[in-house]
Amino acid sequence: MFIIFLLIYITSFIVAVKEIYKGNTSGILIYLIFGLSMYTTAMSVAFTFGLASFIPFMQSFKELLIVSVLILNIVALKQRPKFHLIDHLIFSFFLYLIIYALLPIGDQSFTGRLISLKSISFYVVVYFTGRFFDPKTIYINKYFNYIILLTIAAAAVLLVEVVCQSPLQFNSGYFDYSYHYYNLEKEGSLGLAETFTSDSGYTRFASFFTSPLEHGEATLLALAVIIGLYTTDDNKFNINGVGILAVGATFLSILFALSRAPLASYFIMIYVYALVTKRKFIIHAIQYAFVLAAIYIIYLFYQFENNHSGLIAVLLNTINFTDPSSLGHLLAWTEGIMSMIQHPFGIGLGSSGRVGATLSENIGGENQLIILGVQAGIIAAILYLFVFVLFIKVSFKWLSILKGKERKLCMTVFFIKVGLLISTLTTEIESSSYVSYMSWFLSGLLISIIMRQAPQLQPANDN
């Protein structure tokens, strides 16, 4: 049955290529949604079926499609586009990293630096692919509904995993694939198998995503899409039966992924949504629940017996950084920050993050900003953070200006950024192809809309 994931991956690529060939470049979203969401599972299955020689070719599908559509969109431009401050910042960030790849900085070879450059900055190319789209050619509702269906499918796979009490990755060839291509061990204190078990012994599930963490982050993206799709221009939440099923699917996914940062972000997104749409009942309910939870946690900390177990132990150990995962975050942050203090301009590409881990030379980590800062210095980290925060500011501002499908996209991007903020501080968020590509593509598309609307509604250089 696992071969179905490989077939979906290949089919999504073929359908996307067919649509692009017909002139419908928005067809790339079919691949980004259905192909990238199960990318690692598809590659794992291919490896298990003895198709290792084809895997490098299939791995290149995403870059091939992105670059092709970017070129086609640039060629199709009828006039020179007006650029937003965000465009300038992202392009400057990209050029800055290219300099680090070209100069002999650090211990990595030129090839190693190029690989790392692609790993930590290809989302810039994805952003400009969305940025140069004509928004009128994309049916936002259709592709958002595809994400809704994907979310429901992910929950269906999750339910099978829960019933069997076995993550899909334990049977798909995921561990052999990861070791062969990325030198990542299954066993050990930092092994991949550990990511599927919480400190209290509960099994964590990833559905067809790469890991429970990516499953949680993808769920946040899905929740942002649900919010954007079903919220009307007057802030009414007009949801249908499929939408209700999708909301239930997101709750199951975030619960069984048992990833702390996405779980916290899930409820933060709901709270922020209540603030934005002025739903006082939800605001007060969450505030009261937070106060009661805080009182209960304080009570637990001051109990004379210290023999908590299960989810209570996970919660308390997370807060006081005594569990291995939280302690690992703290040690990685400390190591990365110390490296940034000693080397404010970085120690070279490939010294931190996914590439560094593959080469067993990882310094710091567990934080997108620190991973960038260790490699390319404080300037790179500040640029990335500034762009991230600016997206939240700009998308929130334009919520009161845009209408219809443009507002749906704007609200979705706003909540994607809000939802992924904590994950940005606790993981290498851009290592997830599905979440990263979708986030940056939609972000680029939003800026395209804003710059087309700006001459009519705001000054052209409004930021």
pLDDT value of residue 127: 98
Determine the Cα–Cα distance for residues 419 and 265; give it in Å rounded to an integer. Answer: 5
In this structure, the number of other CB atoms found within 10 A of the CB of residue 107 comes to 13
Confidence of residue 461 (pLDDT cuts 50, 70, 90): very low
Per-residue pLDDT, averaged over 187-211, amounts to 82
CB neighbourhood size of 19 (10 A): 17
Using an 8 Å Cβ cutoff, are 227 and 413 in contact? no
Between residues 194 and 100, which one has the greater pLDDT? 100
DSSP assigned state of 346: -
Cα 224 to the center of its chain, rounded Å: 12
Q: Is the pLDDT of residue 69 over 50?
A: yes
**Per-residue pLDDT at 21:** 95
pLDDT over 80 (residue 137):
yes
For 126-150, b where at least 16 C-beta lie within 10 A, e where not — what string? bbbbbbbbbbeebebeebbbbbbeb
- pTM here is 0.93
At residue 460 the predicted structure's pLDDT band, cuts being 50, 70 and 90, is very low
Helix (H) or strand (E) holding 120: helix 110-131
The three-class DSSP label of residue 453 is: helix
pLDDT at 295: 83
Task: State the pLDDT confidence band at 400, using cuts at 50, 70 and 90.
Answer: very high
Across the chain, what does the average pLDDT equal? 90
* DSSP secondary structure of 278-330: T-HHHHHHHHHHHHHHHHHHHHHHT-S-----HHHHHHHHHHTT-SHHHHHHH
Let me know: does 15 contact 27? Beta carbons within 8 Å. yes
If you average pLDDT over residues 201-217, what whole number do you get?
93
> pLDDT > 90: what percent of the chain?
71
pLDDT for the residue 200: 67
pLDDT tier at 303, thresholds 50, 70, 90:
low
Query: Which is more confidently placed, 326 or 27?
Result: 27
191 or 144, greater pLDDT: 144
Residue 62's pLDDT is: 96
Confidence of residue 182 (pLDDT cuts 50, 70, 90): confident
Alpha helices in 165-198 (DSSP H): 174-182
Confidence bin at 308 (pLDDT 50/70/90): low
Confidence tier at 231 by pLDDT (50, 70, 90)? very high
